């Protein structure tokens, strides 16, 4: 169980909120200032007066080291709710230790409210405010500490909020799952949690995107009215300068012409090389916006905020972007690693059931590739679309993403093993093309996985029962398992234009067992 760490300036409510969170969750509460006083046998005011601020900061660092797991204990002291002193995590080493031990949340509030909350206590309990002009001192300290506070992705402005309201936000953020993806030259985080949309600005700032820079918020006419205002507000609050860009929705619009139009919108919005592109939408929006971000001015920062289940578990992770040509899907593209991916499953409530099922096809695919336990769970609980809400959805999405992350980290530029992610895609992409993209990607991949499983059985590489088991799970979740009435020669011709071909040979990804697949070229 990870720690919950509350930090921020004095008077923002760290101790009061921390005690309440600990009581609600049944955890032990540690107030770092109180712990230091108990160990030193004197108040913080006395430590400052007798030993100096440097001595106090050394005590803070030692306690952070201990709570972070490198002190007296062999591992992190887990399951705590910790309230730090206002300056404790200004030290980058302290901040890193606390962030390794759990979820760090920075509380803030207005200067007026800080003064009101500290009225009558500044001289006796707050040595840094034992000055003639506390307001000027607060404003000066806040400016000095601004960068350190902004390095924390999760921010709660407590101004005007009750303790109960802040506690509810803390508990929601504490349930966030963060997965890291490493690639040559860097890494990025995927944050998963309900209600995260309101925190996208803070998460971008913590990821290293400078404030006061332009952000092209790319969305489509269906998603923008639902979530655009909230994202834009979060960006402005975090100090960014967002402007909206629009792309049409649908695979038929995933073209070079759409990218060219996006370039024009970037120029009109005065996006420069210091700026960022944020994709708010499904896989098509992410692919088009990502390709534009990779190529505009030879590359700008890119952030993914997927709004469909399919995009959450597939298109938003791994760095592949691109557009289609008339001859086939994704034939033009680039690898563009995002700076950040933020996944908020609460957005799935706005989707029709058919869209949820499309994403399920990719989750089932990931379970076949590398998580037999997840496959068994989906097999046992098939059909319960209501389960794709809240923390249960976060857990399942995280499991599917861990499979993909392991694969893309081992082969970041699709030079070999990463091709296993194309399970079901050889036939699937051909069906999409022949149907004029009227069939969804998830539906096509579902049929493609059945075809691959049957082929593996016919080649003697897998037991026939495996194909029946895969077909049964897909069907139980409402996904198609029968091929549309296209001519076999037409399907084969469409497959020949797939980018997975090598020379004249098609490459197939065939399931051998749940959790094991093989890449085969000599079928």
- Among 365, 429, 433, 454, the active-site one is 429
Half-sphere exposure of 446 (CA within 13 A, CB side): 27
Distance CA 33, CA 487 (A): 74
Please say if 137 is a catalytic residue: no
Tell me the two tokens of residue 352.
């029709």
- Among 214, 320, 329, 396, the active-site one is 320
Please say if 404 is a catalytic residue: yes
For β-strands 328-335 and 320-325, DSSP reports them as antiparallel
| 445-467 burial: b if 16+ Cβ within 10 Å, else e | bbbbbbbbbbbbbeeebbeeebb
Residues 6+ apart with CB under 8 A from 98: 3, 5, 7, 64, 67, 68, 82, 84, 89, 104
Contact 25, 130 (CB under 8 A): no
Please say if 73 is a catalytic residue: no
Distance CA 18, CA 67 (A): 16
Please say if 414 is a catalytic residue: yes
Distance CA 274, CA 177 (A): 29
- Among 14, 253, 422, 433, the active-site one is 422
- Among 257, 298, 482, 504, the active-site one is 298
Nearest to 337 by CA among 470, 186, 220: 186
Distance CA 147, CA 425 (A): 45
Residues 6+ apart with CB under 8 A from 435: 444, 484, 486
- Among 253, 425, 433, 454, the active-site one is 425
Q: What is the torsion angle, in degrees rounded to the nearest 10, for the CA atoms of residue 497, residue 502, residue 508 and residue 512? A: -170
Please say if 301 is a catalytic residue: no
- Among 254, 404, 433, 454, the active-site one is 404
- Among 414, 432, 433, 471, the active-site one is 414
| DSSP designation for 502 | B
- Among 254, 365, 441, 454, the active-site one is 441
Please say if 425 is a catalytic residue: yes
Distance CA 307, CA 356 (A): 11
- Among 362, 365, 399, 471, the active-site one is 362
| 3-state DSSP helix/strand/coil % of the chain, to nearest 5 | 55, 20, 30
Contact 216, 277 (CB under 8 A): yes
- Among 254, 418, 433, 454, the active-site one is 418
Please say if 298 is a catalytic residue: yes
Catalytic (active-site) positions: 298, 320, 362, 404, 414, 418, 422, 425, 429, 441
């Amino acid at each position: 169980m990870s720690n919950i760490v509350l930090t921020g300036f004095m008077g923002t409510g760290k101790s009061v909120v921390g005690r309440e969170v600990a009581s609600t969750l049944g955890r032990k509460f540690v107030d770092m200032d109180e712990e230091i006083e108990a160990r030193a046998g004197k108040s913080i005011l006395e430590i400052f007066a007798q030993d100096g601020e440097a001595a106090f900061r050394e005590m803070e660092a030692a306690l952070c080291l201990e709570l972070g797991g490198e002190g007296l204990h062999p591992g992190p002291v887990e399951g705590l709710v910790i309230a730090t002193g206002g300056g404790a995590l200004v030290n980058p080493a302290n901040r890193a230790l606390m962030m390794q031990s759990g979820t760090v949340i920075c509380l803030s509030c207005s200067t007026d409210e800080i003064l009101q909350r500290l009225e009558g206590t500044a001289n006796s309990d707050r040595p840094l405010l034992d000055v003639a002009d506390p307001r000027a001192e607060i404003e000066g300290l806040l400016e000095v500490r601004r960068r350190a506070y902004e390095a924390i992705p999760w921010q709660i402005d407590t101004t005007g909020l009750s303790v109960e309201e802040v506690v509810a936000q803390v508990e929601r953020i504490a349930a966030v799952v963060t997965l890291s993806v490493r690639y040559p030259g860097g890494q990025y985080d995927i944050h998963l949690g309900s209600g995260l949309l309101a925190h996208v600005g803070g998460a971008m700032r913590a990821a290293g995107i400078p404030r006061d820079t332009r952000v092209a918020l790319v969305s489509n006419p269906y998603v923008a009215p639902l979530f655009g205002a909230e994202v834009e507000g979060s960006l402005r609050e975090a100090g960014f300068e967002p402007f909206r860009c629009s792309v049409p929705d649908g695979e038929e619009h995933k073209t070079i012409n759409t990218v060219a139009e996006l370039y024009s919108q970037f120029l009109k919005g005065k996006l420069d090389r210091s700026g960022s592109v944020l994709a708010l939408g499904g896989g098509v929006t992410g692919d088009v916006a990502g390709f534009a971000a990779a190529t505009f001015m030879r590359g700008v920062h890119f952030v993914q905020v997927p709004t469909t289940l399919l995009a959450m578990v597939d298109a938003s992770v791994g760095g592949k972007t691109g557009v289609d040509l008339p001859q086939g899907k994704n034939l033009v593209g680039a690898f563009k690693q995002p700076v950040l991916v933020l996944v908020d499953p609460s957005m799935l409530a706005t989707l029709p059931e058919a869209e949820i099922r499309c994403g399920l096809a990719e989750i089932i695919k990931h379970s076949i590739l590398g998580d037999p336990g997840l496959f068994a769970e989906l097999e046992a609980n098939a059909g319960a679309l209501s389960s794709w809400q809240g923390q249960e959805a976060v857990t399942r999405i995280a499991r599917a993403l861990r499979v993909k992350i392991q694969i893309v980290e081992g082969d970041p530029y699709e030079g070999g093993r990463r091709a296993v992610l194309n399970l079901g895609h050889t036939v699937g992409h051909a069906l999409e093309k022949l149907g004029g993209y009227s069939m969804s990607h998830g539906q096509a991949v579902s049929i493609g996985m059945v075809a691959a499983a049957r082929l593996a059985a016919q080649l003697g590489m897998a037991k026939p029962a495996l194909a029946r088991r895969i077909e049964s799970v897909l069907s139980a979740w409402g996904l198609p398992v029968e091929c549309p009435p296209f001519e076999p020669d037409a399907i084969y011709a469409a497959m020949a234009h797939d980018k997975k071909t090598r020379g004249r040979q098609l490459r197939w990804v065939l399931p051998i067992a749940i959790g094991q697949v093989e890449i085969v070229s000599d079928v």
